[in-house]
Structure 1
Amino acid sequence: MLNYIEIYVDELWYLLLEMAPWLMLGLIFAGLLKVYFPQKHINRLLGKSNFRSSVNASLIGIPLPLCSCGVIPTGISFYQNGASKGSTNSFLISTPQTGVDSILATYSMLGWPFALLRPFVAFVTGVAGGVITNIFVKDKQVTIQDQSPFSNLKIDTGAINNRKETCSDDSCGCHEPEKKDNRHSLVRAADYAFIELLQDIAKWLVIGFLLAALISVALPEDFFSSFSGLGFLELLVVLAASVPLYMCATGSIPIAAVLLMKGISPGAALVFLMAGPATNVATMAVLGKTMGRKSLMAYMATIIGGALFFGVLINAFIPADWFLSQIPHLHGDGHEQQMLPVWLQWVSAIVLVVSMVGGYFYSIHKKRKKMNKTEGITVKVTGMTCSHCEANVKRNLEALKGIAEVIADNRSETVKISGSGFDLEKVKQTVNGLGYKYEG
């Protein structure tokens, strides 16, 4: 028993050493992306139901480090602020499959073929999903005819139901200007990367590492070789397991790497890398409720069809041995290839672990301190799972008349609202419209 534990810990630490430097680099890029390309610039590119908007949405979504827990409220927020259903679906499909952090981590564990394949497949399926949605799901628009500044503004009927006026320009008055963060841009980038983002993915990253190490130790080396002759059936089995599963793009990498080493085909590994991060039961429920069943069907059909299409394509035309030969390390067979200096791997792993643990307690302390200093009312909101959920609740509620400041905390499932003269019924409609649940 002790021998198995020792082997398991050794495998777990090995996986951490391999991914840590690339995860650190990816986090740095993600922080810089957040600071120098903020979300307010994205809204202006997604408003039309055409091919260009789908391309824009996919290109924007690919580098963003959002998994499905964060991409759903972000995408819905875009939709309720004027984005078309087609471009919203493009964003929702392409974003969770990859990200600047997971691309680098994919290279570290799976080699450059998968590192290039993931963003390419995410882009193609994202654009295809947007086009399909534009063809089969029409954005119903009406014109508000009154003497207000919005008299000629076309908005989506779903937004009307949520009493949300939409626009594509911050100057129109729909949104109050965001409070300026006076900290240095590098400080803001570091705070986002190593506090907010890392805390969002930490749970699923740890789960991914633990499962990958368990599979590596517990399953025989040739466990999946029996599936290799099943062809399309192998892809369906992996797909069936991946669709309801929640796993972020980065957390899925070590599992896919170990599955490849155990004999699964590269096409099936790609199916897992696509469907695992992009779909889960919660995502499907929220998407169907907010954008309708037709949009959900277009979303699911694109991901499932795209995963199977590219999986079959890879298995049919690219030898599995070639993919395995491009993986930059071989573990457990007596010879390994080191991509990076050992000292860099150790330093990165230690910094990553310390950042995850320290960031957890720091974020709790910071949020509680801010909550205690702010006067206002506190409401309970369930369904928030990450900092992106908090940011979406904050941004949309602060756009309501009478609300001066909002502090959202996904851990305690509370939202503190300060201001005067605001309508709690509109707060409820806005929160529920984003896919969360206003509890009162």
Structure 2
Amino acid sequence: MKREFIYLWYYFSIQFEQIFFYWVLGMVFGSAISVFLKDQIHSTFSSLCEKRLGVFGIVIASVLGIASPLCMYGTIPIAASFSAKGIRDDWLAAFMMSSVLLNPQLLIYSIALGKAALMVRILTCFFCGIAAGLLVRIFYKGKSFFDFKEFHEPKSRDTDTNIIFRFFKNFGRNIRATGLYFLIGILLSALFQRYVPAGAVASLFGKNKGFGILMAATIGVPLYVCGGGTIPLLQAWLEDGMSMGSAASFMITGPATKITNLGALKSALGIKRFALYLGFVIIFALISGITVNLLIHH
């Protein structure tokens, strides 16, 4: 028993040392954007309703969604306020989709996965937002896609008059929100490294490319609770032979189907459009995974 504890502590401590810096940096960066830039990002998006940007507005909306520091739970009420100001549904779809998949804090965390995985995450999230916006534009032209009647713009929690105190309070909330999941993620990674042979990961998520992508997309649904918590797992899996396409698939389905937030999304979409959303997420994840593997291996 003592020997097993020593082995687990060894894997845990190595993983902790590799990722701790990126976790802290991500919280600092995320809190800084939330306190100093969030209002500017959202006001920039609100101002788009005054411009005739057409399809290009979807591209801008996807970029601003990634830049927004909000998670899905915070994005939906903000999107409701944007809708009330006249922002089009296709732009909203692009903004919400990319915002759900990636934010500045998670982007910094993802540096720990290496340059290739970081670029794959940024590009797949960006294009997923664009794809969502284009589909809403094509199939819901002249019709409403969202129903925001139940949602109101949330009150900001960053209200301290001293901007430095405001930053540190936001930073403290980030630690409380992600710290436990970060440690659980490292513990799960240590357990995988100790008890799951590297060859098993490679054979499941690596060699059988199509099956591995499908499996990664599937396990992303129940396993994903917090973005920072999955980084240690992904890092260990990639080192053990997981294909980049499988990682891309996991990084899409995980945050897009985060169980704690799906209820709010279902309220904003209704049953039919919610089912379309889930179908879109799975299909896009599979296409992205296959495409990434084809591009990397050719």
Return the TM-score normalized by structure 1.
0.58
Give me the whole-angstrom Cα distance separating, in 1, the residues matched to 2:226 and 2:137.
27
Once the two structures are superposed, the pairs formed by residues 264-303 of structure 1 within 5 Å of their partners are 264-303=242-281
What code does the residue aligned with 2:186 have? F
Contact 1:45–1:56 (Cα < 8 Å) also in 2: no
Contact 1:96–1:249 (Cα < 8 Å) also in 2: no
What code does the residue aligned with 2:55 have? F
Distance 1:66 1:15, change over 3 A: farther
What code does the residue aligned with 1:238 have? A
Residue 188 (structure 1) aligned to one of 163, 166, 173: 166
Deviation at 1:312, TM superposition (A): 0.8
Q: Which has the higher helix share?
A: 2
Deviation at 1:260, TM superposition (A): 1.8
Counterpart secondary structure, 2:100: coil
Deviation at 1:226, TM superposition (A): 2.6
What code does the residue aligned with 1:317 have? L
Counterpart secondary structure, 2:138: helix
The corresponding residue for 1:3 is 3
Residue 96 (structure 1) aligned to one of 73, 97, 100: 100
What code does the residue aligned with 2:102 have? T
Distance 1:94 1:177, change over 3 A: closer
What code does the residue aligned with 1:58 have? S
Distance 1:233 1:18, change over 3 A: same
Cα distance per residue 1:200-228 (max 9 Å; x no partner): 22233232222112111111121123333
The corresponding residue for 1:437 is none
Structure 2 gap ranges (5+): none
Counterpart secondary structure, 1:182: coil
Distance 1:180 1:73, change over 3 A: closer
Contact 2:185–2:230 (Cα < 8 Å) also in 1: yes
Distance 1:202 1:176, change over 3 A: closer
Once the two structures are superposed, the pairs formed by residues 116-265 of structure 1 within 5 Å of their partners are 116-138=119-141, 140=143, 158=147, 162=150, 181-183=160-162, 185-192=163-170, 194-227=171-204, 228-265=206-243
Contact 2:45–2:61 (Cα < 8 Å) also in 1: no
Cα distance per residue 1:116-156 (max 9 Å; x no partner): 22111111111110111122234657xxxxxxxxxxxxxx9
Contact 1:23–1:105 (Cα < 8 Å) also in 2: yes
Counterpart secondary structure, 2:102: coil
What code does the residue aligned with 1:128 have? A
How many residues end up aligned between the 2 structures? 293
The corresponding residue for 2:286 is 308
Distance 1:19 1:157, change over 3 A: closer
Distance 1:287 1:79, change over 3 A: farther
Deviation at 1:267, TM superposition (A): 0.9
The corresponding residue for 1:35 is 35
What code does the residue aligned with 1:34 have? S
What code does the residue aligned with 2:195 have? A
Contact 1:26–1:102 (Cα < 8 Å) also in 2: yes
Deviation at 1:19, TM superposition (A): 1.4
Contact 2:64–2:95 (Cα < 8 Å) also in 1: yes
Contact 1:67–1:278 (Cα < 8 Å) also in 2: no
Distance 1:205 1:92, change over 3 A: farther
Contact 1:96–1:277 (Cα < 8 Å) also in 2: yes
The corresponding residue for 1:340 is none
Give me the whole-angstrom Cα distance separating, in 2, the residues matched to 1:260 and 1:190.
34
Contact 2:77–2:151 (Cα < 8 Å) also in 1: no
Counterpart secondary structure, 1:264: coil
Greater CA radius of gyration, 1 or 2? 1
Counterpart secondary structure, 2:101: coil
What code does the residue aligned with 1:115 have? L
Contact 1:242–1:275 (Cα < 8 Å) also in 2: yes
Cα distance per residue 1:38-60 (max 9 Å; x no partner): 34525514659953442233212
The corresponding residue for 1:112 is 115
Distance 1:178 1:138, change over 3 A: farther
Return the TM-score normalized by structure 2.
0.83
Contact 1:89–1:295 (Cα < 8 Å) also in 2: no
Once the two structures are superposed, the pairs formed by residues 61-72 of structure 1 within 5 Å of their partners are 61-72=65-76
Deviation at 1:69, TM superposition (A): 4.4
Structure 1 gap ranges (5+): 142-155, 167-174, 321-440
Counterpart secondary structure, 1:277: helix
The corresponding residue for 1:23 is 23
Once the two structures are superposed, the pairs formed by residues 314-353 of structure 1 within 5 Å of their partners are 314-319=292-297
Distance 1:291 1:257, change over 3 A: same
Contact 2:199–2:240 (Cα < 8 Å) also in 1: yes
Distance 1:200 1:268, change over 3 A: same
Give me the whole-angstrom Cα distance separating, in 2, the residues matched to 1:54 and 1:308.
22
Q: What value does the CA root-mean-square deviation take over the aligned residues?
A: 3.3
What code does the residue aligned with 1:121 have? T
